[in-house]
Amino acid sequence: MKKVFVLIIALLSGVAAFAQEFRCNVTVSHQKIQGANRQMFRTMQADIYEFMNNRKWTEHVYTYDEKIRCNILIRLDEQISSDEFRGSIQVQLTRPVFGSSYETTVLNIKDNDFRCKYVEFQPLEFNETSNRDNLTNILAFYAYIVLGFDYDTFSPEGGTPFFEKAQSIVNNSQNASEKGWKAFESERNRYWLIENVLNKSYSDFRKCMYSYHRQGLDVMAQKPEEGRSTIATSLRDIQSVFRRRPSLYILQMFFDAKSDEIVNIFSKSFPDERNRVVAILNEVDPSNGSKYKKITESEDL
């Protein structure tokens, strides 16, 4: 009996040692496609879920509570042929904040260049050195993007190995017929996403991602004023990147994820700090100016 118990513990330990990285929710929406095989889309959703959650993406060991929380929403707008589809993919990464029950949105990105082939019951296979399958290339690209952004929030430029893997996928996809991989196709696609992240000229962006989350949000539960002050300082790094190149894709991504949160954080701040932050925000993200006005309209502390 003791031997059986030891064997069970060993097996459970082996499972824990190889625990995968993601707690990824996957939704495949197909309402716009009429007359199609509905079961096929359910199978597609299950296959993508398994691809994201059951594949080992890193060499690191994760407990269940440490798994990275993300969501993938694929909207299929058109069935081009029996096994080819076009639509969009939206990827959201959230991260728990230390000492609280709050989860912050780190990444919320929508990619409209989603085109894939899918054959029901055919395994999803990803090859790091080829571009044979656009579906798994896109999924793997965003898996590494999510890993990179998550790691960047815990250590300075900690996500570099994963961003480099995402860059390799882009490089291997330069001959792909599908859109989203090439520089000339758009200023906001997968090519420019990874180019912006790894470009040393914009390294202050990644500096902000670390200080905003690890030295700012993670401190606020115990030292709210100190954490908020650090977040205010981190926005100066975003301002620095903006002044280098205002139209960067990563800047839009940052405010898509953070604008509402920033309003909530600084609505509880001191008047001088609120005014300084709003001045930065109005410069670097003028499209959300009406939203940021709520900060200065909040009551003085």
In a domain, 24, yes or no: yes
DSSP secondary structure letter of residue 202: G
Alpha carbon of residue 126 to chain centroid: 20
d(CA 146, CA 62): 15
Q: Is 100 part of a structural domain of the chain?
A: yes
Instruction: Give the mean pLDDT of 184-207.
Output: 97
Q: In the numeric block, which tokens belong to residue 32?
A: 């716009």
9 within domain boundaries: yes
Q: Look up residue 286 and give its amino acid.
A: P
Is this structure's pTM higher than 0.75?
Answer: yes
Which DSSP helix (H) or strand (E) runs through 29? strand 22-29
230: in domain: no
Query: Could you give the C-alpha distances from 49 to 15, 17, 195, 284, in angstroms and in order?
Result: 19, 21, 28, 37
Q: What is the pLDDT of residues 91-133, one digit of tens each?
A: 999 999 999 999 999 999 999 999 999 999 999 999 888 878 9
Please write the tens of the pLDDT for every residue from 49-84: 999 999 999 999 899 889 999 999 999 999 999 999
Cα 31 to Cα 1: distance, rounded to the nearest angstrom:
55
Closest of 113, 211, 122 to residue 158, by C-alpha: 211
pLDDT tens-digit readout, 161-172: 999 999 999 999
How far from each other are the two terminal CA atoms of the chain, in whole angstroms?
65
**Model confidence band, residue 1 (pLDDT cutoffs 50, 70, 90):** very low
| 30/42 Cα distance (integer angstroms) | 10
The tally of domains found in the chain comes to: 1
The answer to whether residue 96 is domain-embedded is yes
Show the tokens assigned to 280: 């930065």
The phi and psi torsions of 116 (rounded to 5 degrees) equal -150, 160
Q: Which domain holds residue 114?
A: 1-152
- Cα–Cα–Cα angle for 104, 31, 116, rounded to 5 degrees: 75
User: In a 3-state reduction of DSSP, which class is residue 166?
Assistant: helix
Alpha carbon 23 to chain centroid, angstroms? 13
Instruction: Specify if 242 maps to a domain.
Output: no
What's the pLDDT band for 299 if we cut at 50, 70, 90?
low
Residue 285 lies in a domain: no
pLDDT digits (tens, 9 = 90+) for 140-163: 999 999 999 999 999 999 999 999
Q: Give residue 38's pLDDT.
A: 86
Q: Which residues touch 184 (CB under 8 Å, ≥6 apart)?
A: none
- How much of the chain, in percent, has pLDDT values that exceed 90? 85
Inside any domain, residue 77: yes
Phi, psi angle pair for 181, to nearest 5° = -105, -10
